[in-house]
Amino acid sequence: MYYVSKQMEIAGCHALKLSYRSKCENLHGHNWIVTVHCKAKELNGDGMVIDFAHVKEKIHGYLDHGNFNELLPFNPTAENIAKWVCDQVPHCWKVDVEESKANIATYIKDED
Protein backbone atom coordinates (compact mmCIF):
# COMPACT_ATOMS: atom_id res chain seq x y z
CA MET A 1 0.00 0.00 0.00
CA TYR A 2 1.25 3.50 -0.87
CA TYR A 3 0.47 6.44 1.42
CA VAL A 4 0.88 10.15 0.72
CA SER A 5 -0.12 13.26 2.66
CA LYS A 6 -0.60 16.86 1.58
CA GLN A 7 -0.65 19.62 4.20
CA MET A 8 -2.02 23.07 3.41
CA GLU A 9 -2.55 26.29 5.31
CA ILE A 10 -5.88 27.86 4.43
CA ALA A 11 -7.02 31.29 5.59
CA GLY A 12 -10.77 31.39 6.01
CA CYS A 13 -13.62 32.60 8.16
CA HIS A 14 -16.81 31.05 9.50
CA ALA A 15 -19.63 31.65 11.94
CA LEU A 16 -21.04 28.57 13.65
CA LYS A 17 -24.72 27.89 14.19
CA LEU A 18 -24.83 26.30 17.64
CA SER A 19 -27.47 25.09 20.10
CA TYR A 20 -25.88 27.24 22.83
CA ARG A 21 -24.47 30.76 23.11
CA SER A 22 -20.86 31.08 22.02
CA LYS A 23 -18.46 33.68 20.65
CA CYS A 24 -18.05 31.28 17.71
CA GLU A 25 -21.51 32.33 16.49
CA ASN A 26 -19.86 35.58 15.36
CA LEU A 27 -17.97 35.65 12.08
CA HIS A 28 -14.28 34.97 12.82
CA GLY A 29 -11.24 33.65 11.00
CA HIS A 30 -8.54 31.03 11.37
CA ASN A 31 -5.42 29.97 9.56
CA TRP A 32 -6.54 26.38 9.16
CA ILE A 33 -4.01 23.57 8.74
CA VAL A 34 -5.57 20.84 6.61
CA THR A 35 -3.77 17.54 6.09
CA VAL A 36 -5.14 15.21 3.41
CA HIS A 37 -4.08 11.55 3.59
CA CYS A 38 -4.46 9.38 0.47
CA LYS A 39 -3.62 5.75 -0.25
CA ALA A 40 -3.61 3.31 -3.12
CA LYS A 41 -2.61 -0.31 -3.66
CA GLU A 42 -1.13 0.62 -7.03
CA LEU A 43 0.34 3.81 -8.44
CA ASN A 44 -1.25 5.54 -11.42
CA GLY A 45 0.44 5.71 -14.81
CA ASP A 46 2.54 8.66 -13.63
CA GLY A 47 3.87 6.73 -10.63
CA MET A 48 1.73 8.57 -8.07
CA VAL A 49 -1.14 7.91 -5.68
CA ILE A 50 -2.38 11.41 -6.54
CA ASP A 51 -0.71 14.60 -7.71
CA PHE A 52 -0.18 16.92 -4.73
CA ALA A 53 -0.92 19.89 -6.98
CA HIS A 54 -4.39 18.48 -7.76
CA VAL A 55 -5.16 18.16 -4.05
CA LYS A 56 -4.05 21.73 -3.41
CA GLU A 57 -6.05 23.07 -6.35
CA LYS A 58 -9.22 21.25 -5.29
CA ILE A 59 -9.14 22.24 -1.58
CA HIS A 60 -6.87 25.27 -1.09
CA GLY A 61 -7.92 26.75 -4.43
CA TYR A 62 -11.57 26.63 -3.43
CA LEU A 63 -11.47 27.55 0.28
CA ASP A 64 -8.49 29.90 0.75
CA HIS A 65 -9.46 33.42 1.87
CA GLY A 66 -13.14 32.48 1.70
CA ASN A 67 -16.16 32.62 3.94
CA PHE A 68 -16.86 28.96 4.66
CA ASN A 69 -20.53 29.72 5.42
CA GLU A 70 -20.91 30.87 1.83
CA LEU A 71 -18.73 28.18 0.24
CA LEU A 72 -19.98 25.08 2.07
CA PRO A 73 -23.56 23.74 2.32
CA PHE A 74 -23.40 22.86 6.04
CA ASN A 75 -22.49 24.28 9.45
CA PRO A 76 -18.72 24.74 8.89
CA THR A 77 -17.34 23.05 12.00
CA ALA A 78 -13.87 21.54 11.76
CA GLU A 79 -15.47 18.08 11.87
CA ASN A 80 -17.83 18.80 8.96
CA ILE A 81 -15.03 20.40 6.96
CA ALA A 82 -12.82 17.34 7.46
CA LYS A 83 -15.51 15.03 6.03
CA TRP A 84 -16.18 17.39 3.11
CA VAL A 85 -12.48 17.52 2.22
CA CYS A 86 -12.25 13.72 2.30
CA ASP A 87 -15.22 13.47 -0.07
CA GLN A 88 -13.58 15.88 -2.55
CA VAL A 89 -10.25 14.10 -3.04
CA PRO A 90 -9.82 10.75 -4.82
CA HIS A 91 -8.07 8.04 -2.78
CA CYS A 92 -8.50 10.10 0.42
CA TRP A 93 -9.01 8.00 3.54
CA LYS A 94 -8.25 10.50 6.33
CA VAL A 95 -8.29 14.26 6.86
CA ASP A 96 -7.03 16.33 9.81
CA VAL A 97 -8.35 19.88 10.19
CA GLU A 98 -6.61 22.12 12.73
CA GLU A 99 -8.58 25.32 13.21
CA SER A 100 -6.30 26.70 15.89
CA LYS A 101 -3.32 25.45 17.89
CA ALA A 102 -4.23 22.17 19.58
CA ASN A 103 -7.84 22.08 18.25
CA ILE A 104 -7.86 19.32 15.65
CA ALA A 105 -10.72 17.36 14.09
CA THR A 106 -10.02 14.12 12.23
CA TYR A 107 -12.27 12.28 9.80
CA ILE A 108 -11.45 8.72 8.74
CA LYS A 109 -13.44 7.11 5.95
CA ASP A 110 -14.92 3.71 6.83
CA GLU A 111 -13.53 0.79 4.86
CA ASP A 112 -16.42 -0.93 3.11
CA 87 and chain centroid, separation: 9
* Rounded Cα gap, residues 105 and 78, in angstroms: 6
Task: Enumerate the β-bridge partners of residue 105.
Answer: 97
Sign of CA dihedral 91, 40, 60, 57: negative
Q: What is the percentage of the chain residues whose pLDDT exceeds 90?
A: 95
> Contact, 78 vs 68, CB < 8 A?
no
Q: pLDDT of 65-79, one tens digit each?
A: 999 999 999 999 999
Q: How confident is the model at residue 112 (pLDDT cuts 50, 70, 90)?
A: low
CATH of the domain at 82: 3.30.479.10
Task: Enumerate the β-bridge partners of residue 35.
Answer: 7, 96
SS3 call for 97: strand
Q: How many other CB atoms are found less than 10 A from the CB of residue 101?
A: 7
pTM over 0.85: yes
Domain count, the chain: 1
Higher local confidence (pLDDT), 64 or 102: 64
Residue 66 domain boundaries: 2-108
